[in-house]
Amino acid sequence: MDGRIIEIIVDSFVPIITAGFQYTIPLTLISFTLGTLLAILVAIIRVSKVKILDPICRFYVWVIRGTPLLVQLFVVFFGLPKIGFIIEPMPAGILVFTLSIGAYSSEIFRAAILSIPKGQWEAASSLGMSYPATLRRIILPQATKISIPPLFNSFISLVKDTSLASNITISEMFLVTQRITARTYEPLVLYIEVGCIYLIFCTVLNWVQNRVEDKLMLSKSEKKKVKEIVDNQI
């Protein structure tokens, strides 16, 4: 490896990693947080079969899961301005990634809620607890515990999916790499470098996931439920 290649790798590292902390990580954290809240709401609506809202939620999940994320980004950022809705790149990215996480994670939460034995619902009802109270105090805490491992998988996937935001001019890591590549004409080296940085981010998150799962100490039955949920997402 000649000196020029090493110099390019070293010089590009700081701009790429800076873009990661300025855009990739905030985009991921904000979208995942909002998407998870949306997912919980959608899952509760679907499990409770709320009239009017249930068909809307089903349609939303169907559309988001059935269309490519890149197409969704293009529709929001390039398409909506044609009908008068102009959204800046970062808000557009947050909106699309939030809707995506909300749709996929709602199925995780819904499956986790449905995996709770019906006897617990009946026991709560016999104690005079209302449906909302049963959800809040008994069902959701257990469902959340079961949902955490597959949710971590979604979070790690979102870190990688944020690279698509380069297509709507968000200066995250991949777009910065593309700009450096256009200047240095070294695509192989630079794309491998940014790939390694994504790999480091995801490896750290995998380590955190393993620590969290150890803390949760899922039972065998809960681990089986988690596996079923993950398998259904593949």
Q: Over the stretch 164-174, which tens digit does the pLDDT of each residue have? A: 999 999 999 99
Is residue 227 over pLDDT 70? Answer: no
Phi, psi of 117, deg, nearest 5: -55, 140
The pLDDT value recorded for residue 214 is 78
Cα separation, 116 vs 138, in Å, equals: 10
User: Tens digit of pLDDT for each residue in 19-67?
Assistant: 999 999 999 999 999 999 999 999 999 998 888 999 999 999 999 999 9
pLDDT at 1: 60
Domains of the chain, start order: 3-233 (1.10.3720.10)
Token pair of 28, please?
Answer: 């991921």
pLDDT, position 234: 46
Query: C-alpha angle 230/204/216, rounded to 5°?
Result: 50
Angle at 32 between CA 40 and CA 137, to 5 degrees: 30
Whether residue 184 is predicted with pLDDT greater than 70 in this model: the reply is yes
**What is the DSSP secondary structure assignment for residue 67, as one 8-state letter?**
S
CA distance 159 to 56: 28
Cβ atoms of 12 and 193 within 8 Å: the answer is yes
pTM over 0.95: no
